[in-house]
Amino acid sequence: MTVSTEEAPQPAPAVDLHRQLAQIWATGPGLRRLASVNHSVLGVRFMATAFVFFAIGGVLGMLTRVQLATPQAAFLDAETYNQVFTMHGSIMLFLFAIPMVEGLAVYLTPKVLGARDFAFPRLTAFGYWCYLFGGTILTGALLAGVAPDGGWFMYTPLNSIAYTPGINADVWLLGVTFVEISALTLAVEIVVSVLKIRAPGMSLDRMPIFGWYMLVTASMMIVAFPPLILGSILLETERAFGLPFFDPTRGGDALLWQHLFWFFGHPDVYIILLPMAGLLSTMIPVFANRPLVGYRSIVVAIIGLAFVSFGIWVHHMFTVGIPHLALAFFSAGSAIVAVPTAVQLFAWLATLAHGRPVWNVPMLYIFGFFSTFVIGGLTGVMLAMVPFDWQAHDTYFVVAHFHYVIAGAAAFPLLAALYYWLPLLTGRSAVYRLSVPAFWLIFIGFNLTFFLMHLVGLLGMPRRIYTYSATEGWIWLNLLSSIGGFIMTIGFALVTIDLIAQVRYGRRVRCDPWRAGTLEWAMRLPPAPYAFASLPNIDTRADRIAAGELGSSLARGEGYLGFARNGWQETLGVDMISGTPDQLIVLPRQTYMPLYTALFIAAAVLSMLFQAYWLAVVMALVTAGLFVLWGQKSGHARDYEPLTIGHGLCVPPHTEVASTPPWLALILALVANGTLFTSLAFGVLYLWISAPNWPPPTRPETNVWLAAGSLVALFLGAAAARGSLRFLATGRAPQAWIGLAAVALLAAIVAIVVLIENVVPHPREHALGSTAAALLGYVALHAGIGLLFLLSNVLRFSSGFVSSRRLVDLRLTRLWLDYTAMTGAIALGLVLALPALVGMLGMRP
Amino acid sequence: MRPVPDRRLWLLVLGFSVWGSALGFVYVLHSVGCAFAWPANAIRLGLGLVLFVHLALVGLLWRSYAGTYPGAPAVDPTDSFLNWVILWTLIAAFVTIVFTLGPTLLLTTCT
């Protein structure tokens, strides 16, 4: 950041400024809405779509309750019931809870952090379309009668091809993976945005606690989702091509799926919970009329919680036959995870106890959350104790527990948040005629439905049975539970009617109706597409500001960037820790590219579902081409001097700085990618040590020379990428180095494909061969993506978007090829080590 | 005041990364030891060693941060905040290692 010497763009009168900014940022009418990349628009779309899926999932849940209300009911047959309960769980987890979290994050985070938008608006739009199309494929299958029917965690061998021969399981594996693209892209986007796109002056210690929650949650998503994606790819490959990763008769192991699934599944509970806690930590101080107690302690607690939640995935597998010692440390971890959760709970209670709480409808839901979450937390500690888990495993006690911790912990804070942020969303504040009875119906219905499930579970009712005998003693508990379900549904229907009425008849508000201290209230309600007419300077904790006063000043253009320039969508990038402005970020405008790209991915997914694999390959290649095309107009086609941002300061554009958001985004993407690779390597070693039918009947062999050659080619590619960057930085043309890198990568790909073709034992014959092929395929795929990077470099260099000052493209390529070479070395090393590892198995007793 | 370097962010996750490493090593060592029927004492010794090394590492970091924790008003508040959070994540990680992995020293190994 330097002091400006250039003439600043002329500040316009407030009305003109708003008109100019609206012209630049607005989403067009009609079909042009499909080109929107604005976070407010997309956040609302995410939440509205998630709400539709919630309604579908809710109806499915009610169908199961009708079926179970009486013994020997004939309302649903077994096959339909299996589809209904599987889709209920899958929709609620993958299409409602996680996307709702993402929608809230998309809508609120930039506003709370004082930014005009996220770092990668097109990625937000892409994430939305992937979610919508993936979710539509999943629910469409329900209408077609081919929905997944093997339970929402898709255990093998039940969902292997031998026991689920139709496309039901494929729908889940491909559809959920498609949706998870959305989760991963948004996670990267949230982390980058929280770290790089805050209001000037908002250092980490001044960041509202909501920012910390989103940072930690999104970081967890980056690590949690790749194992599930890997597991889904492996299971789909097994089902489609017969590669036996999970088939114990050919060296696979069904338990590998459980490890991969729960390494995602357990943190996922906290991925849903933490943003809800973030909402509570934002709302409670407002209603308590005092700042949040224990801000620093909460930051420590959520960092600890994030880590520990990963380390206890095995507590879902206590009954599979694990030695006592391992059970002990996973049990201890599952118990201690309650401590950081309790830190937050006590911080909220202390805030209320030391404040002057005001009762309001959001507060009703907050107290509803307290009671349900404490019950869910305590039953969680019970289930963490191995002897109890052995008794209650796979009974309705577990169903009751996770509905308390996931459904209760999500629904009550969400509804509190909905009422709290309704003025922000609609510009109208609530009139609570229906709100209070709706709350009580939901609260009573929820507890009646799910509390009784604890009891019926303790009486021995297993989960997932579609009917039961009248002699079991479960009749009244099930009937009351079903009645509770209907009461809860009436409550939700009332909330829906209430919200529609509020939107139509609520009192109009202009700004900050709660006298809150966070930045999302320092703007017009509902927000303009550019959120802030000018960006605030933060000199205190950003949850203690006078939002109304600041909002007026910002609306007059008195903050940073209080002008329109070149038709650019501008926001500020800051130093990650201090919040000092260090770059001007020019965001991309509206575009249909995210929609087209997601459509082609949907086509690829559908092609795979219908086993048109060549068509799927074509669609995947078109998608790759679209990604290259997508990047062609990003950034600037010329160098700039540092640009004025107001208040006498100027900063360089993001294309000319080292700490540009795409750089951080690629690092995070590689962390996700590295997690997937580590999971794959774990899978290989897990099968080696645990799977039956090892060693394979055929001794493994790998062509060492070919493997060494491909490794040399990979490192040559990485070195050439470094050469191209060095040449460009010194003003010389980099094409020759880029060409050399491309040739090296092509050579590596050819060598690896030959290696895959000659894997012994054959990948269909034994899991050793299939895991070796998977490792090699991973490397070939990354080398192929490296070629796309190089192609993009050439195109962008020739069209002037890359220069000796705008090096980011080539830096990204270098990073990608370094990663490819490193993982290639590990993967090839592991493949070469397999014969020796197999030899070691002879030493087993 | 000197700007706080970006790498300080990584220290926020240092303590619990060590815990994750301890968990990973304990899990792998235990699995391999049991699969190859190593003597119980050898497994126990290995697990104890892993535990000790990780505890020592977090303990040293804790000591180092507790010693340098500034607390003086002249210090950059952001720096002070980060130091506080890093210190307490280290302490929390130390306790978590003891609580979660301590049982490895007491229980039967492979049954």
Q: What would the pLDDT profile of A417-465 be if each residue is shown by its tens digit? A: 999 999 999 998 877 788 999 999 999 999 999 999 999 999 999 999 9
Instruction: Determine whether the interchain pair B104/A577 forms a contact, defined as Cβ–Cβ distance below 8 Å.
Output: no
Q: Mutate which of A192, A204, A216, A307 to disrupt the B interface (most B C-beta within 10 Å)?
A: A307
Our CA angle for A260, A316, A61, nearest 5°, is: 95
Instruction: Determine whether the interchain pair A328/B9 forms a contact, defined as Cβ–Cβ distance below 8 Å.
Output: no
Rounded to a whole number, what is the distance in angstroms from the first to the last CA of chain B?
Answer: 58
Average pLDDT for A561-568:
93
Q: What share of chain A is helix, strand, coil (3-state, %, to 5)?
A: 70, 5, 30
Q: What would the pLDDT profile of A277-314 be if each residue is shown by its tens digit? A: 999 999 999 999 999 999 999 999 999 999 999 999 99
Q: What distance in Å separates the CA atoms of residue A155 and residue A163, rounded to the nearest whole number?
A: 11
Q: Mutate which of A296, A322, A329 to disrupt the B interface (most B C-beta within 10 Å)?
A: A329
Instruction: Determine whether the interchain pair A580/B12 forms a contact, defined as Cβ–Cβ distance below 8 Å.
Output: no
Chain B nearest-CA distance from A355, in A, is 24
Give A299's contacts in chain B (Cβ within 8 Å): 85
Instruction: Quote the tokens at residue A678.
Output: 């580590």
B71: which residues sit within 8 A by CB, 6+ positions away? B80
Contact present, A669 and A820 (Cβ < 8 Å): no
- Cα–Cα distance list, B79 to A113, A196, A546 (Å): 20, 18, 26
**A560: which strand partners?**
A535
Instruction: Determine whether the interchain pair B107/A303 forms a contact, defined as Cβ–Cβ distance below 8 Å.
Output: no
Q: What are phi and psi of A725, to 5 degrees?
A: -65, -45
Whether chain B has a CB inside 8 Å of the CB on A689: the answer is: yes
Residue in chain A closest to B93 (alpha carbons) equals A304
Nearest Cα residue to B18 out of B65, B60, B79, B75: B60
Q: What is the DSSP string of A114-166?
A: T-SS-S-HHHHHHHHHHHHHHHHHHHHHHHTT----S-TT--TTTTSTTT--S
Contact present, A413 and A280 (Cβ < 8 Å): yes
Q: Which of B77, B80, B111 is closest, CB to CB, to A324?
A: B111
Residue in chain A closest to B32 (alpha carbons) equals A689
A162: which residues sit within 8 A by CB, 6+ positions away? none
Residue in chain A closest to B11 (alpha carbons) equals A303
- Cα–Cα distance list, A326 to A313, A618, B107 (Å): 12, 46, 9
Average pLDDT for A19-44:
94
Buried/exposed code over A260-296 (b: 16+ C-beta within 10 A; e: otherwise): bbbbbbbbbbbbbbbbbbbbbbbbbbbbbebebbbbe
Nearest Cα residue to A70 out of A476, A457, A488: A476
Q: What would the pLDDT profile of B1-43 be if each residue is shown by its tens digit? A: 567 888 889 999 999 999 999 999 999 999 999 999 999 999 9
Whether chain B has a CB inside 8 Å of the CB on A326: the answer is: yes
Residue in chain B closest to A332 (alpha carbons) equals B100
User: Whats the size of chain A, residue-wise?
Assistant: 845
User: Whats the size of chain B, residue-wise?
Assistant: 111
Q: What distance in Å separates the CA atoms of residue A200 and residue A728, rounded to the nearest whole number?
A: 32
Domain map of chain A by residue range? 694-843
Q: What are phi and psi of A523, to 5 degrees?
A: -155, 170
Q: What distance in Å separates the CA atoms of residue A424 and residue A53, rounded to the nearest whole number?
A: 23
So what's the pLDDT on residue B6? Answer: 84
Interface of B with A (CB under 8 A): 3-6, 8-9, 12-13, 16-17, 19-20, 23, 26-27, 30-32, 34-37, 77-78, 80-82, 84-85, 88-89, 92-93, 96, 99-104, 107-111
Give B17's contacts in chain A (Cβ within 8 Å): 307
Q: What distance in Å separates the CA atoms of residue A330 and residue A351, rounded to the nearest whole number?
A: 33
Instruction: Determine whether the interchain pair B78/A326 forms a contact, defined as Cβ–Cβ distance below 8 Å.
Output: no
Q: What distance in Å separates the CA atoms of residue A807 and residue A663, rounded to the nearest whole number?
A: 11
So what's the pLDDT on residue B104? Answer: 84
Q: Mutate which of B17, B23, B83, B111 to disrupt the A interface (most A C-beta within 10 Å)?
A: B23
Instruction: Determine whether the interchain pair A577/B96 forms a contact, defined as Cβ–Cβ distance below 8 Å.
Output: no
- Whether the pLDDT of residue A28 is over 70: the answer is yes
Q: What would the pLDDT profile of A63-86 be if each residue is shown by its tens digit? A: 999 999 999 999 999 999 999 999
Q: What distance in Å separates the CA atoms of residue A371 and residue A382, rounded to the nearest whole number?
A: 17
- Whether the pLDDT of residue A2 is over 60: the answer is no
* DSSP letter (8 states) at residue A587: E
| Residue ranges in chain B assigned as alpha helix (H) | 8-11, 14-35, 40-68, 77-101
Whether chain B has a CB inside 8 Å of the CB on A74: the answer is: no
Radius of gyration for chain B, computed over Cα atoms and rounded to the nearest angstrom: 18
Residue in chain B closest to A335 (alpha carbons) equals B100
pLDDT band at B106 (very low <50, low <70, confident <90, very high): confident
Q: Is the ipTM of this complex over 0.90?
A: yes
A549: which residues sit within 8 A by CB, 6+ positions away? none
- Whether the pLDDT of residue A618 is over 70: the answer is yes
So what's the pLDDT on residue B70? Answer: 54
pLDDT band at A503 (very low <50, low <70, confident <90, very high): confident
Chain B nearest-CA distance from A117, in A, is 23
Instruction: Determine whether the interchain pair B77/A205 forms a contact, defined as Cβ–Cβ distance below 8 Å.
Output: yes
- Cα–Cα distance list, A741 to A12, A748, A791 (Å): 50, 10, 11
Radius of gyration for chain A, computed over Cα atoms and rounded to the nearest angstrom: 27
Superfamily grouping for domain A694-843: Cytochrome c oxidase, subunit III, four-helix bundle (1.20.120.80)
Instruction: Determine whether the interchain pair A308/B96 forms a contact, defined as Cβ–Cβ distance below 8 Å.
Output: yes
3-state secondary structure of A796: helix
Beta strand A643-646 pairing with A507-508: unpaired
Instruction: Determine whether the interchain pair A307/B85 forms a contact, defined as Cβ–Cβ distance below 8 Å.
Output: no
Q: What would the pLDDT profile of A475-499 be if each residue is shown by its tens digit? A: 999 999 999 999 999 999 999 999 9
Chain A nearest-CA distance from B29, in A, is 11
Q: Which of A311, A575, A580 is closest, CB to CB, to B20?
A: A311
So what's the pLDDT on residue A531? Answer: 95
Residue in chain A closest to B86 (alpha carbons) equals A300
Instruction: Determine whether the interchain pair A328/B20 forms a contact, defined as Cβ–Cβ distance below 8 Å.
Output: no
Chain A nearest-CA distance from B72, in A, is 16
Strand ranges (E), A398-552 = 428-429, 507-508
Instruction: Determine whether the interchain pair B103/A843 forms a contact, defined as Cβ–Cβ distance below 8 Å.
Output: no
- Residue A728, classified by CB atoms within 10 Å of its CB into exposed (0-12), middle (13-18) or buried (19+), is buried
Q: Mutate which of B47, B69, B85 to disrupt the A interface (most A C-beta within 10 Å)?
A: B85
Q: What distance in Å separates the CA atoms of residue A204 and residue A198, rounded to the nearest whole number?
A: 10
Residue in chain B closest to A297 (alpha carbons) equals B85
Furthest C-alpha separation in chain A: 87
Q: Is A366 left (phi over 0), alpha (psi -120 to 50) or beta?
A: alpha
**A572: which strand partners?**
A584
So what's the pLDDT on residue B69? Answer: 54
Q: What would the pLDDT profile of A783-820 be if each residue is shown by its tens digit? A: 999 999 999 999 999 999 999 999 999 999 999 999 99
Beta strand A581-587 pairing with A569-574: antiparallel
Instruction: Determine whether the interchain pair B107/A325 forms a contact, defined as Cβ–Cβ distance below 8 Å.
Output: yes
Give B107's contacts in chain A (Cβ within 8 Å): 324-325, 328
Q: Which amino acid belongs to residue A93?
A: L
